């Protein structure tokens, strides 16, 4: 007889496993189905291993600039890419094991295999179509296996996979996705990165630090197109200063492959076509939801442009079926997935005062060098929305800590509603901004106005002082510029 649960979650990424922990905390009998790796893309092939790679890049950059800090390190430092990748894979493996521990601690049953919804309240778990990468992502012990399982509530948390452009499909050899880019056997001498969203620009930054000749090709007029243009202009200048070549308003129309290199035909805004030859290319043109082979069509779950359609609590159009995380649409970020998981499960458990996820307050961070971070509306979007705004800016060049760090190229920019003082958006580029943005996220969530921010004491000397100065600047009260 099929085993019964209150909640079954399909997919153990940050959306799924966090939802499972919360469901268990709320007393719901919970199981999670996974076909490949506990922790999903985030822990195994996304957020975490990239940050480990980027940390190696940062240490190497610092070592190569030791002289700027009065230090003597003999010769030019270089990377042992095998060791760099091994460290990154080790970090992932540690966290993958951590998710297994959390499932056990919270008494969440792990079912190993590929799940399909057969009808509301029932799933069938079959053999996985994906290989498990041992020993880095081992199948946890004591898992349940293939079979039929029942649950009052089924949460789809199946994540996303790389999107491919027709004719320029990744082949794993010359054209990489993030999977191959994450663990190169050797460093290419030259690399084209197609797409300058967070994933593309992080890899571009990593490979450039490793000494690779990197060219980024972006179809939009600016890199990191969702970010504020002032911020991305500063980031671009810094990346170019580091030797990266960047083409914007440029489209790769064709790729010709040779034995161990490729040539991209790049069409620029003026209609001219240039050919760029490189050893390898990373295709970073976005991701698409994993909605296939889940039985969604048969059950009648509504999808739109490759993602499951949900309300603010993860509910689909079919009672008892929910979706969270990347498969439920943008922004495709781990913290959005986690938050949606918690909101969904708390609503299922009937907790009072559960707030729908507000996608307007999801921060975005890009961990290239220099880092970029933001929350809320860009200046352009605020204007587009017809808001009457006040804008404040503060340059890192006037911040003592940034100068002491040797990282004085950066900006903090804030956008307020002129009438109400509501903080509409904050945008930062420079040292440690991915850690700092959370200050503005909390402020926005508490519906803080300029008044409270101006009366908050920021520690000195910190880069965070740029945040307060930017707020003061918006109101003509800047102190240190």
Q: Does 296 bind ligand FAD (CB under 6 A)?
A: no
Note whether 428 binds ligand FAD by CB under 6 A.
no
Could you identify the residue written with the tokens 């202009």?
Answer: 233
Structure-token pair, residue 322 = 């929910």
> Candidates 79-87, 153-161, 302-310, 424-432 — which segment interacts with ligand FAD by CB under 6 A?
153-161
**Beta carbon of residue 177, minimum distance to ligand FAD (angstroms, whole number):** 8
How many residues sit in the footprint of ligand FAD (CB under 6 A)?
37
Q: Which stretch binds ligand FAD (CB under 6 A): 30-38, 82-90, 239-247, 441-449?
A: 30-38
16 binds ligand FAD (CB under 6 A): yes
Structure tokens at 49: 């291993």
| Residue 10 sits in the site that holds ligand FAD (CB under 6 A) | yes
Regarding 34 and contact with ligand FAD (CB under 6 A), the answer is yes
Measure the CA–CA gap between 178 and 257, rounded to whole angstroms. Answer: 19
CB-nearer residue toward ligand FAD: 335 or 468? 335
**For ligand FAD, which stretch binds (CB under 6 A), given 32-40, 71-79, 242-250, 398-406?**
32-40
35 touches ligand FAD (CB under 6 A): yes
Q: Is 33 in the site for ligand FAD (CB under 6 A)?
A: yes
Contacts (Cβ under 8 Å, ≥6 apart) of 134: none
Q: Which stretch in 85-93, 157-165, 242-250, 271-279 sits in contact with ligand FAD by CB under 6 A?
A: 157-165
Residues contacting residue 258 through CB under 8 Å, at least 6 positions apart: none
Give the integer Cα–Cα distance in Å for 319 and 317. 7
Instruction: Identify the CA nearest to 375 among candidates 472, 285, 442.
Output: 442
Region from 7-15, 69-77, 204-212, 409-417 binding ligand FAD, contact rule CB under 6 A: 7-15
Site membership for ligand FAD, residue 294 (CB under 6 A): yes
Is there binding between residue 19 and ligand FAD (CB under 6 A)?
Answer: no
Identified binder of ligand FAD from the candidate list 9, 14, 238, 368, rule CB under 6 A: 14
Instruction: Please check whether residue 219 is in contact with residue 235, taking contact to mean a CB–CB distance below 8 angstroms.
Output: no
> Phi/psi of residue 142, each to 5°?
60, 30
Site string for ligand FAD, 251-290 (x = CB under 6 A): ---------------------------------------x
178 lies in the binding site for ligand FAD (CB under 6 A): yes
What minimum distance in Å lies between the beta carbon of 188 and ligand FAD? 17
* Nearest in space to 139 (alpha carbons), one of 100, 177, 102: 100
Q: Which is nearer to ligand FAD, 114 or 450 (CB)?
A: 114
By the rule CB under 6 A, 41 interacts with ligand FAD: yes
Q: For 204-224, b where at least 16 C-beta lie within 10 A, e where not — what string?
A: bbbbbbbbbbbbbbbbbebbb
Annotation says 369 is catalytic: no
Q: Which is nearer to ligand FAD, 21 or 115 (CB)?
A: 115
From residue 50, how far is each of 37, 246, 445 by CA, in Å?
Answer: 17, 21, 28
Q: Does 40 bind ligand FAD (CB under 6 A)?
A: yes
Q: What residues contact 139, with CB distance under 8 A and at least 6 apart? A: 112, 132
Alpha helices in 258-358 (DSSP H): 296-299, 334-348
Nearer to ligand FAD, 179 or 458 (CB): 179
Using rule CB under 6 A, residue 326 touches ligand FAD: yes
Asked whether position 22 contacts ligand FAD by CB under 6 A, the answer is: no
Beta strand 3-10 with 423-429 is: unpaired
Q: Does an H or E element contain 149, and which?
A: strand 147-156
Contacting residue, 9, 20, 52, 115, with ligand FAD by CB under 6 A = 115
* Helix axes of 198-209 and 47-64: crossing angle, nearest 10 degrees: 40
Only segment of 37-45, 79-87, 404-412, 441-449 that touches ligand FAD (CB under 6 A): 37-45
Antiparallel, parallel or unpaired: β 147-156 and 321-323 = parallel
Q: Of 335, 339, 369, 460, which is the active-site residue? A: 460
- Residue 345's nearest CA partner among 3, 30, 14 is 30
Taking residue 243's Cβ as centre, other Cβ atoms within 10 Å add up to 12
Rounded CA separation 384/374 (Å): 18
**What is the set of active-site residues?**
460
Binding site residues, ligand FAD, CB under 6 A: 10-16, 33-37, 40-42, 45-47, 50, 114-115, 157-160, 178, 199, 290, 294, 325-327, 332-335, 337
């Amino acid at each position: 007889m099929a085993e019964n649960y209150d909640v079954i979650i399909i997919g153990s990424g940050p959306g799924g496993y966090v939802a499972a922990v919360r469901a268990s905390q709320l007393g719901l009998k919970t199981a999670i189905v996974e076909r490949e790796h506990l922790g999903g893309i985030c822990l195994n092939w996304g957020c975490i291993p990239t940050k480990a790679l980027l940390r190696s890049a940062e240490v190497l950059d610092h070592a190569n600039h030791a002289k700027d800090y009065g230090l003597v390190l003999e010769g030019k430092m270089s990377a042992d890419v095998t060791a760099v990748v091994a460290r990154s894979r080790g970090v992932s493996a540690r966290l993958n094991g951590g998710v297994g521990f959390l499932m056990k601690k919270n008494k969440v049953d792990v079912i190993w295999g590929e799940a399909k919804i057969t009808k509301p309240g029932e799933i069938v778990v079959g053999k996985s179509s994906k290989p498990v990468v041992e020993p880095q992502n081992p199948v946890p012990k004591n898992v349940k296996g293939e079979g039929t399982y029942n649950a009052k509530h089924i949460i789809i948390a199946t994540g996303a996979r790389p999107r491919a452009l027709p004719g320029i499909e990744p082949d794993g050899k010359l054209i990489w996705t993030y999977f191959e880019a994450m663990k190169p056997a050797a460093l290419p001498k030259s690399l084209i990165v197609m797409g300058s969203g967070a994933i593309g620009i992080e890899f571009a930054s990593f490979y450039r630090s490793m000494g690779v000749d990197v060219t980024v090709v972006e179809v939009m007029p600016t890199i990191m197109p969702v970010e504020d243009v002032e911020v991305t202009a500063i980031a671009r200048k810094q990346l170019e200063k580091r030797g990266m070549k960047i083409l914007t308003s440029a489209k790769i129309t064709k790729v010709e492959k040779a034995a161990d290199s490729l040539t991209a035909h790049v069409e620029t805004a003026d209609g001219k076509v240039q050919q760029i030859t490189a050893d390898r290319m990373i295709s970073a043109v976005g991701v698409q939801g994993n909605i296939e082979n889940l039985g969604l069509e048969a059950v009648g779950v509504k999808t739109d442009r490759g993602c499951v359609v949900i309300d603010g609590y993860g509910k689909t159009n079919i009672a008892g079926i929910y979706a969270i995380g990347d498969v439920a649409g943008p922004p495709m970020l781990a913290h959005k997935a986690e938050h949606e998981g918690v909101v969904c499960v708390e609503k299922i458990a009937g907790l009072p005062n559960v707030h729908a996820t507000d996608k307007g307050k999801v921060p975005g961070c890009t961990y290239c060098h220099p880092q970029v971070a933001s929350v809320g509306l860009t200046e352009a979007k605020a204007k587009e929305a017809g808001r009457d705004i006040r804008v404040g800016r503060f340059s890192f060049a006037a911040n003592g800590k940034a100068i002491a760090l040797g990282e004085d190229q950066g900006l903090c920019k804030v956008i307020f509603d002129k009438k109400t003082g509501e903080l509409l958006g904050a945008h930062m580029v420079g040292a440690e901004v991915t850690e700092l943005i959370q200050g503005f996220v909390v402020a926005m969530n508490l519906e803080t106005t300029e008044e409270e921010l101006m009366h908050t004491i920021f520690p000195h000397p910190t880069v965070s002082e740029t945040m307060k100065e930017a707020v003061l600047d918006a109101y003509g009260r800047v102190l240190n510029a």
